[in-house]
């Protein structure tokens, strides 16, 4: 088995491999990253790498990615790593060899770049992945520790009898203008500093996102402004369809019934239909969602404004809500589905501190600084 770093010439093979190997669980899904598998990594960070496993016939047997960026922990910026895109054909030999390569690469990142901590996410009911990565008792296992649970929430309708939260929030929702740029970046960075692994929104990083993300810019942002003119919340609905699309392989009967009911009335409501299994979803991500002191009223006003913006063009609105998140209290205004997920943490240099100690160190610091749209 050969495990090596991928390059641009491997793009087509990786796309085909991902198309054949969906993430398992009660709701099997895959990400269609055509035409450029590496484009999403470039949105995440300029420092990224992809690793491949090939057998003696050069047949692809596994893919995984690693992204390195600046992130906050305890209010201080440091280099962190995100592990993602893991798809491996089941096999003990491959699993052992892959584990060894990952361990070696993480140790090298520690030596070369000072990366001490890494994290990843898993679908909670993807029992094979959870067992092999997080619950394995093999002596040579990577010592992932559970960090925090969350739900990938897919909003598909708003309850018509609910009042628009913007009318009673005491704040104003406006579209971002050039005059807001500096204050918006500072607000994002201040909020992110309070979140473990939150992105460091330096001036270069914020400018890079505005410049390089497809179909994205300052005008994408909706801002919540209080009576003193200060930004107290923001969100940027983003259609990542140019570089990433979600494809559900099949739907449970209950979700299939919801899809059919929504599609039956969609033309009358001016809504797009929800895609069938095997088709890419017409969805939009609520990116850069930050609210001062996690105020549910401000959150509700921002989500209502985002829904008003996208309801005629997108069938679903995706966001991430964490276990114990105050934002859950306002979601009864919407109809949605939820996919339970979990975040795990890992030390890059084993033996320095147990990963469970790292989890205990991180957990009290607030909601995770995790951006589902970059997964």
Domain ranges of the chain: 2-148+341-374, 154-340
Confidence of residue 90 (pLDDT cuts 50, 70, 90): confident
Task: Give the separation between CA 240 and CA 253, rounded to whole angstroms.
Answer: 28
**CATH number of the domain located at residue range(s) 154-340 in this protein:** 3.40.630.30
- Indicate whether this model's pTM tops 0.85: yes
Residues 186-191 have a mean pLDDT of: 98
Kind plus residue range of the DSSP H or E element containing 63: strand 60-73
- pLDDT attached to residue 364: 66
Residues 201-230 have a mean pLDDT of: 97
User: pLDDT of 265-290, one tens digit each?
Assistant: 999 999 999 999 999 999 999 999 99
Tell me which DSSP letter residue 348 carries.
S
- pLDDT attached to residue 160: 72
Half-sphere exposure (Cβ direction) of 55: Cα atoms closer than 13 Å: 9
Residue 254 vs residue 349, higher pLDDT:
254
* Cβ neighbours around 329 below 10 Å, total: 11
- pLDDT attached to residue 169: 66
Q: What is the 3-class SS of 245-313, one letter each residue? A: EEEECCCCHHHHHHHHHHHHHHHHHCCCCCCCCCCECCEEEEEEEEEHHHCHHHHHHHHHHHHHHHCCC
Q: Are 297 and 226 in contact (CB under 8 A)?
A: no
Confidence of residue 136 (pLDDT cuts 50, 70, 90): low
Task: Give the separation between CA 328 and CA 322, rounded to whole angstroms.
Answer: 9
* DSSP-based three-state secondary structure for 94: helix
- pLDDT attached to residue 133: 67
- The yes-or-no verdict on residue 244 having pLDDT over 90 is yes
Task: Give the separation between CA 361 and CA 356, rounded to whole angstroms.
Answer: 9
- The two domains 2-148+341-374 and 154-340 share their CATH topology (first three levels equal): yes
- pLDDT attached to residue 351: 57
Least confident span in 23-37, 64-78, 93-107, 162-176: 162-176
- pLDDT attached to residue 23: 79
Confidence of residue 60 (pLDDT cuts 50, 70, 90): very high
Least confident span in 25-34, 45-54, 89-98, 323-332: 89-98
Kind plus residue range of the DSSP H or E element containing 211: helix 203-212
Residues 183-191 have a mean pLDDT of: 98
Collect all residues with Cβ–Cβ distance below 8 Å to 179 and sequence separation of at least 6: none
- The yes-or-no verdict on residue 152 having pLDDT over 60 is yes
Least confident span in 85-99, 113-127, 195-209, 284-298: 85-99
- The yes-or-no verdict on residue 48 having pLDDT over 90 is yes
User: pLDDT of 301-324, one tens digit each?
Assistant: 999 999 999 999 999 999 999 999
The percent of residues in the chain predicted with pLDDT above 90, rounded, is 73
The DSSP bridge partners found for residue 175 are 222
Burial of 56 (0-12, 13-18, 19+ CB in 10 A): exposed
Task: Give the separation between CA 366 and CA 293, rounded to whole angstroms.
Answer: 11
- The yes-or-no verdict on residue 163 having pLDDT over 70 is no
CATH 3.40.50.2300 fits 2-148+341-374, yes or no: no
* Cβ neighbours around 11 below 10 Å, total: 18
- The yes-or-no verdict on residue 371 having pLDDT over 70 is yes
- Long-range contacts, 4-8 (Cβ 8 Å, 24+): 4/51, 4/52, 4/54, 5/49, 5/50, 5/51, 5/52, 6/49, 6/50, 6/51, 6/52, 6/63, 8/38
- The yes-or-no verdict on residue 25 having pLDDT over 80 is no
Kind plus residue range of the DSSP H or E element containing 44: helix 39-44
- pLDDT attached to residue 28: 82
Q: Please state, rounded to an integer, the average pLDDT across all residues of the chain.
A: 90
- pLDDT attached to residue 27: 80
Confidence of residue 365 (pLDDT cuts 50, 70, 90): low
């Amino acid at each position: 088995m050969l495990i090596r770093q991928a390059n641009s010439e491997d793009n087509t093979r990786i796309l085909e491999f991902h198309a054949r190997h969906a993430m398992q669980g009660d709701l099997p899904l895959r990400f269609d990253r055509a035409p450029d598998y590496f484009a999403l990594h470039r949105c995440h960070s300029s420092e990224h790498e992809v690793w491949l496993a090939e057998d003696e016939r050069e047949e692809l047997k596994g893919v995984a990615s690693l992204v390195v960026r600046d992130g906050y922990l305890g209010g201080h910026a440091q280099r962190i790593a995100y592990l993602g895109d893991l798809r491996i054909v089941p096999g003990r030999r491959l699993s052992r060899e892959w584990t060894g390569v990952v361990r070696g690469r993480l140790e090298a990142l520690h030596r070369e770049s000072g990366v001490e901590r890494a994290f990843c996410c898993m679908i909670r009911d993807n029992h094979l992945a959870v067992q092999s990565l997080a619950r394995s008792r093999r002596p040579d296992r990577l010592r992932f520790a559970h960090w925090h649970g969350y739900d990938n929430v897919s909003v598909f309708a708003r309850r018509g009898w609910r009042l628009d939260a913007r009318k009673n929030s005491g704040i104003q929702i406006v579209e971002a203008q050039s005059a807001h740029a500096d204050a918006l970046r500072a607000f994002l960075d201040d909020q992110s500093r309070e979140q473990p692994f939150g992105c460091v929104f330096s001036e270069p990083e914020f400018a890079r996102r505005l410049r390089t993300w497809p179909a994205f810019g300052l005008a994408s942002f909706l801002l919540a402004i209080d009576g003193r003119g200060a930004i107290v919340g923001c969100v940027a609905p983003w259609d990542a369809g140019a570089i990433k699309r979600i494809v559900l392989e099949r739907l449970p009967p209950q979700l299939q019934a919801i899809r059919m009911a929504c599609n039956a009335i969609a033309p009358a409501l001016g809504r797009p239909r929800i895609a069938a299994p095997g088709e890419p979803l017409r969805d939009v991500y609520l990116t850069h969602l930050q609210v001062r002191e996690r105020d549910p009223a401000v959150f509700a006003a921002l989500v209502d404004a985002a829904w008003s913006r996208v309801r005629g063009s997108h069938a679903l609105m995706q966001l991430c809500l964490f276990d114990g998140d105050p934002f859950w209290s306002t979601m009864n205004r919407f109809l949605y589905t939820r996919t339970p997920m979990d975040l795990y943490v890992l030390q890059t240099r084993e033996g320095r501190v147990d990963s469970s100690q790292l989890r205990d160190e991180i957990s009290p610091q607030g909601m995770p600084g995790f951006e589902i749209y970059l997964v």
